[in-house]
Amino acid sequence: MRIERVARVLVQVYEFNDASDGKTYYWNATLGRLNAVASGRRAVPVDLAKAGMTMERILAMYPDLDVSRALGLPLDALLDPLLFVTHKGRHVLIDGWHRLYRASALGIGVLPAYILSQEEADTIRHI
């Protein structure tokens, strides 16, 4: 008999309702982040103003966002890159909504982000 310890890992899956085709897509954000880090990928800067990310727009895009949790994040949490996937030629944020809101509330204009290609996004998408 072989006994192994298995670490419990919280798996975050992001749900995206695509208005263009009426379908719902799911991505494993935990696996996406692990893949980005393991690949040695460098984070790229995301300009929040250019992306139109205001507190109001963030809440419109993610109405279930826990505002008190977001506002309670420590400042060093904003150094952790956001995670985007490429979907039909555009970028979809699958991890980092609370950090994005906190940065917007503080007037921080740029955050680091990993952006996965369409091929990489397909490998972490649940069908």
Q: Is the pLDDT of residue 72 over 50?
A: yes
Alpha carbon 120 to its chain's center: 14
The pLDDT value recorded for residue 2 is 52
The pLDDT value recorded for residue 4 is 54
Q: For the sheet containing 44-47, what is the strand order?
A: 44-47, 110-116, 82-87, 90-95
Q: Is the pLDDT of residue 8 over 70?
A: no
| In a domain? residue 19 | yes
Separation of alpha carbons 127 and 46, rounded Å = 29
| In a domain? residue 50 | yes
| In a domain? residue 47 | yes
Q: Domain count of the chain?
A: 1
Give the domain extent around 83: 13-126
| In a domain? residue 2 | no
| In a domain? residue 113 | yes
| In a domain? residue 36 | yes
Band (pLDDT 50/70/90 cuts) for residue 21 is very high
**Number of C-beta neighbours around residue 100 at 10 A:** 26
| In a domain? residue 117 | yes
Q: Is the pLDDT of residue 110 over 70?
A: yes
Separation of alpha carbons 78 and 36, rounded Å = 17
Query: Sign (positive/negative) of CA torsion 101, 106, 107, 110?
Result: negative
Residues 94, 14 contacting (CB under 8 angstroms): yes
- Nearest C-alpha neighbor of 121 from the set 42, 32, 51: 32
The pLDDT value recorded for residue 7 is 62
Band (pLDDT 50/70/90 cuts) for residue 10 is confident
The pLDDT value recorded for residue 5 is 55
- What's the CATH code of the domain at 89? 3.90.1530
Q: Read off the pLDDT of residues 36-70 as tens digits, 9 standing for 90 and up.
A: 999 999 999 999 999 999 999 999 999 999 999 99
Q: Under 8 Å CB-to-CB from 55, ≥6 apart: which residues?
A: 101, 104, 105
